[in-house]
């Protein structure tokens, strides 16, 4: 599995404790990558269950989220968190109310944002404009 670098945002990195004073690299701080916080779109499998993926399928999947490279770190964080919420819904088609159900989670991640529902809608529009989602009308979306 490969994960494009634009999926590595602060939320997906966990800081470890510094190495002990007696360690050769005393004070050095490492990190863990929290794969559970990477949206499924960011997990590109080259080999899965001992089956090698078709090269073209891997490239299509890689390019699908290439637009994220152009986004600022803050914007990318919001987009990835909304994508993760859509993943957690677990269906190709969903409605706005289902994404709103994650308002508490997103409010916890962005405590200074008092307009989380507005931000959710904005991020869904960006994902639609970038070809990640299709707007079906009346608050319904489909993951492409």
Domain 5-143 class, CATH top level: mainly alpha
The CA-based angle 98-142-90, given to 5 degrees, is: 50
Encode 6-37: b = buried (16+ Cβ within 10 Å), e = exposed: bbebeebeeeeeeeeeeeeeeeeeeeeeeeeb
- Nearest to 72, CA basis, from 21, 9, 138, 17: 9
Dist. CA 68–CA 128, nearest whole Å: 13
pLDDT at 47: 97
pLDDT of residue 11: 87
Angle at 63 between CA 62 and CA 69, to 5 degrees: 95
Residue 21 has pLDDT above 90, yes or no: yes
Spell out the domain ranges in the chain.
5-143
pLDDT in tens, 83-137: 999 999 999 999 999 999 999 999 999 999 999 999 999 999 999 999 999 999 9
**DSSP-assigned letter for residue 11:** G
Q: What is the pLDDT of residue 142?
A: 97
Q: Is the pLDDT of residue 33 over 90?
A: yes
Q: 82, 110 in Cβ contact below 8 A? A: no
For residue 2, what pLDDT band results from cuts at 50, 70 and 90? very high
pLDDT tens per residue across span 39-83: 999 999 999 999 999 999 999 999 999 999 999 988 999 999 999
Helix, coil or strand: residue 117 = helix
Among 85, 84, 121, smallest CA distance to 101 is for: 85
- Structure token digits, residue 74: 């803050």
What pLDDT score was predicted for residue 56?
97
């Amino acid at each position: 599995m490969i994960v494009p670098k634009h999926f590595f945002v602060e939320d997906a990195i966990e800081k470890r404790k510094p190495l002990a004073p007696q360690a050769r690299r005393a004070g050095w701080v490492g990190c863990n990558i929290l794969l559970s916080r990477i949206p499924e779109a960011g997990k590109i499998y080259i080999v899965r269950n001992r089956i090698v993926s078709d090269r073209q399928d891997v490239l299509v999947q890689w390019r699908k989220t290439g637009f994220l490279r152009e986004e600022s770190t803050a914007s990318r964080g919001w987009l990835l968190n909304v994508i993760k919420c859509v993943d957690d819904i677990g269906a190709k088609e969903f409605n706005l109310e289902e994404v709103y159900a994650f308002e508490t989670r997103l409010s916890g991640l962005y405590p200074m944002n008092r307009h989380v529902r507005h931000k959710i809608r904005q991020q869904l529009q960006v994902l639609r404009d970038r070809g990640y989602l299709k707007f079906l009308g009346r608050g319904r979306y489909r993951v492409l």
